[in-house]
Amino acid sequence: MAHTAIRSVALAAALSLSACLHLAQAAPAFQVGVGMSDITGEAAEVGMMGYASLDQKTSGIHQRLRARAFIVQDNRGATPGKSAVVVITDTGLVTQAIHQAVLARLATRYGSLYNEQNVLISATHTHAGPGGYSHYALYNITVLGFQKATFNAIVDGIVEAIDRAHANKAPGDILLNQGELTNASRNRSSAAFRRNPAQDRAVFPQEIDPLMTVLTFQQAGRAVGALSLFPTHGTSMTNTNTLISGDNKGYAAYHWEHEVAGVRYRADGKPFVAAFAQTNPGDMSPNLNLKPGSGPTEDEFENTRIIGQRQSDKARELASHANQVLSGEVDYRMRFVDMSRVQVGSAYTPDSQVHSTCPAALGASFAAGSTEDGPGPGIAQEGTANPFLTAIGGLLFPIPDSLRQCHGAKEVVIPVGLMQPYPWVPEVLPLQLVRVGNLYLATLPGEPTIMSGYRIRRQLAQTLGVPVNQVLVVGYSNAYTEYITTPEEYSHQDYEGGSTLFGPWTQPAYMQELDKLAQAMVRGENVSTALRPRDLSCCQLNFQTGVVMDLPPLGKTFGTVLQDAQASYQPGQTVAVRFQSAHPKNNLRRNGSFLEVQRWNGNQWVSVADDGDWSTRYRWRRTFGAESVVDISWTIPADQAAGTYRIVHDGNAKSLWGTISSFRGTSRPFAVSP
């Protein structure tokens, strides 16, 4: 009887343990959190980042810029609680200054929980945002220096997005799906691409990388966010545009979030978050006719929408059919590397010889620019002084013979890595490998071509023992240093080759150094480095004129309607209202708006659109001295409900004594009817 009782108790215990193990296995693999915030900087009279044109300065907003954050915490792996953070920003770049400032801010909030090892920040590479947020001169020259307000807006928004993702963490799963998108990019440097060996080119028979990867983040079986990775440049908007825009990837996110998921950015506490990141777009143009602003149409705004919607539609299709649940642990490795002096082993070079990288330099083809997306950088114009450039050394650059020899085929014109007292670009750069389940993300602080990306992915996949599609490179991450071409592409010296800063062996050097991280990850070893990037926050110059004061004309006040709405409109028509206004630099209205389209619901006016919506445009211009006006337009969507509407403009004016006060202007009510 005693033995029988013991056996019964043991059986019950075993069944109980089995049930517990089953429940543990059924529990979600991760804690996941998503969040976003506004990172829109100065909307007027600040040079824009991307085309390096002195003439391209912000003059308003078409769409607000946002940071979108994803946090993954391991529930089951060897180190439960281990976390990784991925942030995608609607910016041209992620500069080292941004990376440093965000990490410093996170350390004060979270201690060592989120740090340089496990935080990945990457840009969509829009060319339609305000610039001046680097601590390195090359990226501030055409913006006339460091723009503190824009810098702070980006840092504040990134940190807020991470805060919100952290606060929203809950048990969840991540679904993976991959597919091909072939009508949103075209190779803008085919001649250089064709220098690569035939067996490598065969991987990309259309000379594009069509791979789209979509991660869907779920909590309790409900999708709360999605991260899409696909390579195409953020250059649908041309260098003649001066309205802030997230470009095609910004529209892709807006379409999924706002048009499909119904997100209202200023009102939703826990919105669905859809980020559209880059992989290796260095030679991928969205301008399908290989001319700026051309393809599929000749309208840059319509092209932005179409290329964005193609990405959004494909990503949503992949997400809707995703059935692979990511499994495995969260892991990461990161170290700093001085890319100006890497000795590259023979195992990583096409000619099986040992080579080395060079101090950074730009070639003549850099100045020519990419004719498919935009002309060369307007660092200086004949007969026009650039006080920032004069202050940091002018245009007379001694170029040592050793530097010319190291850069090989490149005709060196600016030795940016040899400038004094500081180089014009960073050389001590962060390289990072992040594992989320069975997907690996390898970061690059620049713009890799599709072949550069593929070679790195292929090497890392071999080391990690996984299929090549389980490894992605993520460009524009954690710092920025121009382009990354293969040695064969470099020899052609197209724009991308002339902008490959560290010489012909840049791509093999990145491949080698990332492979060291992969080897360490496989062995379970930590990596460390004594190298640290310099902090130049102390030493920034700004020659951009600030706001002295705002004045309305005699007989007018701020917010006065100068051109009013008509009495009635139909869907598809555009409402246009002009207001007496003040400089938008006085208050960036981050997480707010300079305009609202409001509808009367019978009891009160309710906002239906603002300056973050595709249907609106907010354009500021100076009229005389301290006087300025704002033109607000709203193209009425086809499905807009009939009713009574009005346009509201909010702004802030600066007095001669420096006091900033708010004002509001309101159009006449108007009818919208079918």
Is 320 a residue of the active site? no
pLDDT digits (tens, 9 = 90+) for 257-294: 999 999 999 999 999 999 999 999 999 999 999 999 99
Half-sphere exposure of 573 (CA within 13 A, CB side): 14
* Residue 545, in any domain of the structure: no
pLDDT digits (tens, 9 = 90+) for 109-124: 999 999 999 999 999 9
- Residue 587 domain boundaries: 561-672
What would the two tokens of residue 298 be? 């000749």
What would the two tokens of residue 174 be? 């991540």
- What is the structure's pLDDT at 398? 84
For the chain, what is the radius of gyration of the CA atoms?
Answer: 26
Environment class of 605 (CB within 10 Å of its CB; exposed 0-12, middle 13-18, buried 19+) = middle
Over range 31-58, report the average pLDDT.
Answer: 96
Q: What is the mean pLDDT of the chain?
A: 93
Half-sphere exposure of 551 (CA within 13 A, CB side): 11
What would the two tokens of residue 291 be? 């001319």
Residues 574 and 438 in one domain: no
Residue 100 contacts residue 255 (beta carbons within 8 Å): no
Instruction: Report the C-alpha gap between 384 and 142 in whole angstroms.
Output: 12
Written as one string, the DSSP assignment of 586-626 is G---TTS-SEEEEEE-SSSEEEEEETTSTTEEEEEEEEETT
- What is the structure's pLDDT at 28? 86
Closest CA to 94 of 145, 157, 45, 144: 157
Q: What is the pTM of this model?
A: 0.93
pLDDT digits (tens, 9 = 90+) for 441-479: 999 999 999 999 999 999 999 999 999 999 999 999 999
* Residue 375, in any domain of the structure: no
Residues 615 and 466 in one domain: no
Residues 498 and 568 in one domain: no
Residues 204 and 59 in one domain: yes
Indicate the DSSP class of residue 142. G
- What is the structure's pLDDT at 25? 47
Strand 447-448 and strand 483-484: the pairing is parallel
- What is the structure's pLDDT at 469? 98
Residues 441 and 587 in one domain: no
Residue 263 contacts residue 255 (beta carbons within 8 Å): no
* Residue 345, in any domain of the structure: no
- What is the structure's pLDDT at 138? 95
What would the two tokens of residue 446 be? 């620049």
| Cβ count within 10 A of residue 345 | 15
- What is the structure's pLDDT at 545? 81
Residues 507 and 627 in one domain: no
* Residue 415, in any domain of the structure: no
- Amino acid, res. 610: D
- Amino acid, res. 355: H
Instruction: Report the C-alpha gap between 94 and 122 in whole angstroms.
Output: 6
Residues 181 and 98 in one domain: yes
Residues 514 and 594 in one domain: no
Stretch among 19-28, 341-350, 427-436 having the lowest mean pLDDT: 19-28
The total of structural domains in the chain comes to: 2
Q: What is the CATH number of the domain that holds 635?
A: 2.60.40.2300
- What is the structure's pLDDT at 661? 98
pLDDT digits (tens, 9 = 90+) for 617-639: 999 999 999 999 999 999 999 99
Spot the catalytic one: 53, 189, 245, 285.
285
Sign of CA dihedral 364, 368, 372, 373: positive
Where is pLDDT greater, at 385 or 184?
184
- Specify which residues 356 forms β-bridges with: 343
Environment class of 457 (CB within 10 Å of its CB; exposed 0-12, middle 13-18, buried 19+) = buried
pLDDT digits (tens, 9 = 90+) for 325-352: 999 899 999 999 999 999 999 999 999 9
Strand 568-569 and strand 670-672: the pairing is parallel
- What is the structure's pLDDT at 496? 95
